[in-house]
Structures are given as structure tokens and as C-alpha cells.
Amino acid sequence: MGWDNSRAVPWERLVREWVVYAGIMSAIFLVFFRDNNVIGALAGVLISGPLYLAFGAVMAKFGYTRKNLKELRAQSKAEAAEKSHDTPKASPSGGPGSRPVPTSRTSSGSNRAKSSSKRKR
């Protein structure tokens, strides 16, 4: 898809996602970098906000929209219902779970080497 100025940018969703990310990362940085430079790590998280929003806005103008959890759940339920309605097809060699016919590359029974009853002495 090409650039389209008329496409809406989901600003609320982008800001909400970044706030959640910033909160989690800030907590992680505070726990792991107590003795080191926490201010630099937190500044990096704050700088990532405008970058994330700008990238998300550009992607939205190109037509990219991610599915939310509600849409993903509905899609997975529809796929599960579709699979449950499908009837298993019978294979030509027997029932729907029968083993394939042995070929020269597969053994027809046990994988043990056959020993001959006559030994050469």
C-alpha cells in the first residue's frame, strides 16, 4: 500500500502502548541499574516515546494496523470452529489413521536385523 494522508493514526493506542512499555522498562531499569546510571537509562526510555509515535504514525499512513486482542481471540475461535466442522477424509488404504504402505526405504515390521539360521563355520 502507498502513503495516504486520509488514513487515521490511532494516537490513543500508540500512546497507551508506549506508556505501558515505558512503565515496565523503567521499573526493570530501576531494579537492575540501582548503582549505575539510572538517569541515562530513563532518559533513553523517554527518548523512545517520540520515536515510537513517529514510526507508528508513518506505518499507519502506509496502511498498517495491528489486530487487537479482541480481534485475535475472535479469529482463533473462528479457526477452531472451522476445524471442528471439517470431517476427516478417509484415506484410500483404510481408515483415517492407518499407516502408510511400506516402501523400499521403510521397513515393514521390526527394525531389527534378521539373523540367518545357518552359520558359516
Give the Cα separation of 97 and 45 in Å (integer): 54
Residue 100: inside a domain, yes or no?
no
Answer for the pair 1, 62: CB distance below 8 angstroms, yes or no: yes
Q: Which residues contact 18 (CB under 8 A, 6 or more apart)?
A: 48, 49, 52, 53
Residue 15: inside a domain, yes or no?
yes
Per-residue pLDDT tens for 30-79?
998 887 788 888 999 999 999 999 999 999 999 888 888 888 899 999 99
Q: What total number of domains does the chain contain? A: 1
pTM over 0.85: no
Residue 103: inside a domain, yes or no?
no
Residue 102: inside a domain, yes or no?
no
What integer pLDDT is reported at residue 34 of this predicted model? 81
What integer pLDDT is reported at residue 82 of this predicted model? 85
Residue 55: inside a domain, yes or no?
yes
